[in-house]
A and B are shown apart, each in its own frame.
Chain A
């Protein structure tokens, strides 16, 4: 006998920590031999070793047949080994299972209740539809076995049978029900267990058992079973409202008297989910009692009780927000708990508790979770989970959610919210750039009063070189620069020094930004430039002309850095912009709109700026961007006699298209009239934002000549690179 015993194997593994895999591989080799042995002891030992190796991740499905051999051993200890191996390794599709039917029948009929117990436990794991069908009768008759030890096991195994062979439920349910009156408490408990599981899937069918269960509720002192019964009633009462009335006295009794926190908790839980607070006569008193009992949970130093207390409150929240609000202070304290599980549960509640008054305070608390702690002692006690990206992202999502829910109805001060969003950009530490970008854009566009502040805040982001430097890391959230650039471009009239803003757009390093951000940068350069140049034209003189010339020259050079972008959109826009700047530059430097002042005998400039400058402005700012409700268009009645589908002019033949272009160019870029409300805050549900393009022009979809020209150049240039 040189075979390793299970103990030897375990010792060996522990002694070979460094080359564990190699050692186990060698052992498996031996097991392969041993398992074929004719000596049942060696075979059983091999199977036992395999079960151990299965636990640490080694497949043993190849040995299924040998497992069945060991299961059928007459020796009790070997039978135990065999059945254990089967429970650990057999699957529904294990083919040797069909060999086990007779074996199981034999073991179930054994005179030794312990052997029967092993077989029952084994069956609860390996049962298949076939086995369930074949053994159903045997098991049902075993419900009246003389030993409670067997009866309780049979009851539980029957549930597993029902899952595989639903027919068995119909056949055995009357017999199963009888067991509710069993003399042994463990058997009754097992039956209640099974009924609970069955009722979870189909509560209606078990309403008829209510009287019997009710009797148990009043007489039993087995807390484990009471918990199960009370949970079961929680599922039944919504189906049968009359039950609630009947249940209230015993449950109230339990709530008042029980010393077991688990039972107390389940009673309160059932009162909540069983909708008993709404059906009873003195529901206010009951609700108050539940809340005061839950308070005990929340105030308990035991973290577990605190946790389940919060869990229960979150279930009350949808129906009774006021009751939850009574515990606001405790809940807010739980947000700062050092235990992440409790924090998350408290956060769920907080999200439902937010109102106008406490929003800023709650957000402040949540934000503080994201900040590194100033106090060194404090930081060492914080669990590392707080620094985990998933947790941080969760916090940020919740902040945004509570602020933006119901169309921002909880926010009183939007400047504060913009400041929060900007702060989040810096402290997030996880990639939430997309979310922040949408929020900033949404608020910036929808809330007129905040625009000035928003533009200012965006300047801070744009000028921050650290965002640019770290833009290749997603957690730097440099994506918000998209919003920053867009807001700056669109609302550039709020800029104090537009030239500075343009400077930010073309500062070194911006070409490292994501392509979609770069594209917005270029467009924004144009927009701010158009605005600034136009504002110069009001006090047009030689100085401003020189300034414009110099600046245009500079910007034309700077914008070239985007021209070599690998992204086609960026490249196209860059060439577009550069072309526009060079046209303006050329125009400024060649046209000398000067007149001879006869009186003073000198040449002086006129006060009129070149038309090209004033023409650039309407390109971007003809009409203000306003929020438009998605259904707004439908609300405008179509004037009588207007057929929107009729052509205004007959469509032109293809060949003449080019000639007509010039003539129709005037509305090629046009935006329609300001549309929708002009209120400061327009918050219809799901407001969309947009400029309506002229219906007719977009239908035809042509470009202005200028565009066409640039496009050609772009194509040429991009091929030259």
Chain B
């Protein structure tokens, strides 16, 4: 009786498996074309999208025929009504099914109206294949040009470059890693405004262009409001507690014509926001742990007085620069990209009162107070000559 039950179960399960296999979509690596980058540009016609897809070539044989970049990938550009129309069109050119599962970067041309950018982002997030953690980039040049020339200096394959590049906040701090889901969420977030990485292709005469991601672009109310330089981005990362490692130079307090390079190992920023006379009053207490990188024949970093002098100088220097960055976001960009709203919201008990206050508009009239505490641990190997 028991064996009869087991046989019936086995028979039913086999039937189910065979029936399901008709509906399964089993694609091997050779059946798919992997998209590693998607680019969007403007056209003269408002309703038309210029879509570019950078497709990886899995087995490159050094044949450049028809490819517009290096042997590792090709870029196809089409004009279409919707993103999915464009993907369909490119599918017909490529001859394989396009897979967006390995898309690493989405590039928007700076000329695209911001409201369209968010619509494209929503459409991409709606796709089951697109992963929410692919990077979002605003390109100063055309997105198709960026993809065609996105050849990194020390990496042959763009796909590997997009995949293996460490986050800028771990190494340089000149830009931020912003992904698709964060960009989309920030657009609707009442705590702050969205920002995107600023990218460009730089080239010199007779040389091929290379990727240069430097600075960030800020948005407010769905509009692009401005840009932060690389150095301002470092202060942005410091204030938002994202910076892990960078190098900053300050004027040498002992010699006006020289600079001292400081390696910033870790930063910790504690921010608070109060409402004073109806406007935000934001305080940032920043702590740095630094070491001196540059050394000279006369430097003496064992002397406590010298270290204290450099610390005081660094404190004033960073305080001024951080305040400049904060007031630029408030007065010029009018964009709370540091998301101080998450501190401001603690002053409100209900959601209606918070919405009524309209933090993102009031941010333009904010006042800031910055305190910097630099802890200098001396230098590395050469500490000075006695």
Are A and B a genuine interacting pair, yes or no?
A: no
A residues contacting B by CB (< 8 A) are: none
